[in-house]
Structure 1
Amino acid sequence: MTEPRQHDVQCLGTRGLHRMAYVEWGDPANPRVLVCAHGLARQGRDFDTFAQAMSDRYRVVCPDVAGRGRSDWLSDPAGYQIPAYVADMVTLLARLDAEELHWVGTSMGGLIGLGLGSLPNSPVKKLVLNDVGPTIEPVALQRIGAYLGQPLRWASVDEAADYLLSISAGFGPHTREQWLALTRPMLRPDGDGFKLHYDPAIALPLRAVTPEQASAGAAMLWAGYDALRIPTLLLRGAASDLLSHTTAEAMTQRGPKAQLIEFAGVGHAPTLVAPDQISAVREFLLAP
Structure 2
Amino acid sequence: MTFTPDPTSPPNPTSEFLTACGHEIHLMHWSKDRSDPVVMWHGLARTGRDFDPCAAYFADRYRIVAPDTIGRGLSSWSKTPDAEYRLEHYADIAVELLDRLGIERMRWVGTSMGGAIGMVLAAGPLRDRITHLVLNDIGPALSPVAVGRIRSYVTQPPVFDTVLELEAYLRTIYAPYGAITDAQWRQMAETSTRRRDDGKVTVHYDPAVMRVFAETTDDFEMWDAWDAIRAKTLVMRGETSDLLTQDTAEEMTRRGPKARLAVIPGCGHAPALNVPDQLQLIEDFLAS
Give the TM-score of the pair, scaled to structure 1. Answer: 0.91
1:101 alignment partner in structure 2: 106
Give the structure 2 partner of residue 200 of structure 1: 207
- Shift in Å, 1:156: 2.6
| C-alpha distance in 2 between matches for 1:4 and 1:43 | 15
| Partner AA of 2:70 in structure 1 | A
Q: Deviations over 1:83-124 (max 9, x none)?
A: 000000001110222253100000000000011111155311
Alpha-carbon offset, residue 158 of structure 1: 2.1
Q: Is the deviation greater in 227-236 or in 169-178?
A: 169-178
For 1:238 and 1:91, the matched residues in 2 are separated by 35
- Structure 1 pair 101/237, CA: closer, same or farther in 2 (3 Å)? same
Q: How much has 1:177 moved relative to structure 2?
A: 1.9
Matched position secondary structure for 2:140: coil
Q: Does the 8 Å contact 1:31/1:99 carry over to 2?
A: no
| Aligned CA distance change for structure 1 residues 217 and 275 (closer, same or farther; 3 Å) | closer
Q: What CA distance in whole angstroms lies between the structure 1 residues aligned with 2:260 and 2:73?
A: 31
Gaps of 5+ in 2: 1-6
* Equivalent residue letter for 1:225: W
Contact 1:103 1:113 in 2 (8 A): yes
Aligned length: 276
Root-mean-square deviation (Å): 1.6
Equivalent residue letter for 1:105: G
Partner of 1:255: 256
SS in 1 for 2:241: coil
The alignment partner of 1:160 has SS state of helix
The yes-or-no answer on 1:84 pairing with 2:84 is no
Distance apart, 1:217 and its partner CA: 5.2
Match of 2:40 among 32, 36, 42: 36
- Describe how 1:143-158 pairs up with structure 2 within 5 A: 143-158=149-164
Tell me the distance in 2 between the aligned counterparts of 1:206 and 1:131.
Answer: 18
Distance 1:283 1:5 in 2: 26
Structure-1 separation of matches of 2:173 and 2:205 = 16
Task: Tell me which amino acid in the other structure corresponds to 1:11.
Answer: A
- How many angstroms apart in 2 are the aligned matches of 1:188 and 1:126? 34
Q: CA–CA distance in 2 between the matches of 1:207 and 1:193?
A: 25
Offset at 1:29?
2.3
1:170-249 to 2 correspondence within 5 Å? 170-190=176-196, 192-209=199-216, 214=218, 218=221, 221-249=222-250
Identical positions, percent: 41
In structure 2, C-alpha distance between the alignment counterparts of 1:70 and 1:178, rounded to whole Å: 19
Tell me which residue corresponds to 1:129.
Answer: 135
Q: Is the 8 A contact 1:116 1:122 kept in 2?
A: no
> Which amino acid in 2 is paired with 1:134?
P
C-alpha distance in structure 2 between counterparts of 1:29 and 1:206, whole Å: 36
Deviation at 1:204, TM superposition (A): 1.7
- Pairwise CA distance, 1:154: 2.2
Kept in 2: contact 1:240–1:269 (CA 8 A) = yes
Amino acid of the residue matched to residue 36 of structure 1?
M
Displacement of 1:264: 1.1
Distance 1:274 1:184 in 2: 21
Secondary structure in 2 matching 1:253: coil
In the alignment, the residues of structure 2 paired with residue 192 and residue 77 of structure 1 have an alpha-carbon distance, to the nearest angstrom, of 25
**Greater shift in the superposed pair: 31-40 or 177-186:** 177-186
1:93–1:69 Cα change, 3 Å: same
Which letter maps to 1:82?
L
